[in-house]
Amino acid sequence: MKDLTDFKNKNVLVLGMAKSGVSAALLLRKLGANVTINDLKAEQPEELTGNLKKHQVKMILGSHPEDILSANQISLIVKNPGIPYTNPVLVNAKKNQVKIISEPELAYLVMDSELIGVTGSNGKTTVTTLIQMMLDGEQKAYAAGNIGIPATTVVQKALKGDRVVMELSSFMLAGIDQLHPHIAVVNNIFSNHLDWHKTRENYVNDKMNITKNQTVNDYFVINWDNPEWQNLAKRSKATVVPFSRKGLSKKGAYEQEGGLYFQSELIMKAKDMGIPGEQNIENALAAIAVAKIEGVDSAHIKQVLSTFGGVKHRIQYVKSFNGRQFYNDSKATDIEATQVALKAFNKPLILIAGGLDRGDDYDRLIPYLQSSNVKEIIVNGQTSEKLKVMARKAEIPVIKESSRVGESVKIAYADSAKGDVILLSPAAASWDQYKTFEDRGDEFIDAVKKISEENGRL
């Protein structure tokens, strides 16, 4: 970590607690700043508040006071990525020309190692994890960011010569100023979080901030299988390295006749990967491109891809028993992610879906349900009625409703036969019933475990 004096005696407001906010506050204290942390939620875990008190961080909890900036003479705000810029504190800050940065931006300002940034609507956690595993060796590689590990924590232990592979959400990228990855990856761009970004154009522009500070000495790795994404590559000043599952470009990583290649070199057969599905082939190609840019040996790349079992909550294989296979794809918080999951299987399938209603058109799932072997759908949450209507249009033989994911698992097992896949892939966010998609996925895993204990394993 760089020994910066830029923050010494500066009055800084950290807006939003959670793990990243606390990590940012503690880093700022280490750098000599006077730190105030503010969160709407009054009740916070003792392990967080105790640590902040120990390091003399001022806490203002339960509201966003109108005078918080003037009362604390704030000259810089480090905000939680999920807090929109329409927040009154941020609106007031802009009006008074108080600088606003995000937690990943703060991490970048102090980091002394190489940065690899990864974004995309779907698959970015898997890509981040694969890259970290491929690069980790004598020189360490760390995963950080939206993957659930605060970047400001990781950069304090990453040394010069190490790499930090940072998963960057559109929320994180919305406020980028100086953040500059040596390698930037765009896995794909669909239409997500429009309730926050307001328009698709805003969403795309925020995603593309990942490359805005890159130069000709950097690399921009992008999915080449969509004309829009090909055009977006023209915005980057960096060297473009494409990856293509459809083999549309052979200048980077691509699939051809079941083989995964980088330029003309065969890395491995796609069928030998440890995780199923077309989306994971794309994820693997993105990671291969980065690894080859960094000079990683092909044998090591193959070893990682053949043994990698997937990221928790992303088409995660949970277990098999009594001839059934259970997969947890709770991270499928949009329709596109569930489309990807359905394409990953060719066995008879019982789908568990549903969650927060964001006004999406679920008819977009119909061709995927019809082309997959979906024999039953079990719905829950706010989108239940929409999903039932859609399932009837798709002529799904059995349509049922449950109160929660755990109950859905019980129904699915009772209705299943040997050879079936039982898949949780909600096509919706979790916030109608669960705090996070992780909580929803954990309920699925716990329910599967309970059923396996009650029914025995074969």
Residue 456 has pLDDT above 80, yes or no: no
Q: How many domains does the chain have?
A: 3
- 90 and 115 housed in the same domain: no
Question: Using one digit for the tens of pLDDT, what is the confidence trace for 215-271?
Answer: 999 999 999 999 999 999 999 999 999 999 999 999 999 999 999 999 999 999 999
Name residue 131's amino acid: I
Q: Is residue 238 in some structural domain?
A: yes
Q: What number of H helices and E strands is found in the chain? A: 18, 20
Q: Select the more confidently predicted residue: 253 or 343.
A: 253
Binding residue positions: 120-126
Query: Which residues neighbour 369 within 8 Å (Cβ) at sequence distance 6 or greater?
Result: 342, 351, 377, 391, 394, 396
Task: Report in angstroms the alpha-carbon separations of 340 from 135, 229, 329, 365.
Answer: 27, 18, 10, 10
Q: Select the more confidently predicted residue: 65 or 84.
A: 65
Q: Is residue 4 in some structural domain?
A: no
CATH of the domain at 437: 3.90.190.20
What pLDDT shows up at residue 345?
Answer: 86
Distance CA 169, CA 173 (A): 6
Q: Across the chain, what does the average pLDDT equal?
A: 92
Q: Is residue 2 in some structural domain?
A: no
What pLDDT shows up at residue 457?
Answer: 47
pTM greater than 0.85 (yes/no): no
Q: Is residue 253 in some structural domain?
A: yes
Question: Using one digit for the tens of pLDDT, what is the confidence trace for 1-54?
Answer: 888 899 999 999 999 998 899 999 999 999 999 999 999 999 998 888 999 999
CATH of the domain at 255: 3.40.1190.10
Of all residues in the chain, the percent with pLDDT exceeding 70 is 98
Q: Select the more confidently predicted residue: 128 or 346.
A: 128
- 113 and 206 housed in the same domain: yes
Any idea what the Cα angle at residue 291 is, between residues 286 and 296, rounded to 5°? 155
- 30 and 153 housed in the same domain: no
Q: Is residue 5 in some structural domain?
A: no
Task: Report in angstroms the alpha-carbon separations of 218 from 46, 180, 229, 283, 357.
Answer: 43, 9, 18, 21, 40
CB atoms closer than 10 angstroms to residue 53: 12
Structural domain including 284 reads 105-307
Give the range among 61-65, 79-83, 420-424 with minimum mean pLDDT: 79-83
What pLDDT shows up at residue 58?
Answer: 97
Mean pLDDT of 199-203: 85
CATH of the domain at 20: 3.40.50.720
Distance CA 283, CA 270 (A): 12
Binding residue positions for ATP: 120-126
CB atoms closer than 10 angstroms to residue 433: 17
Distance CA 277, CA 283 (A): 10
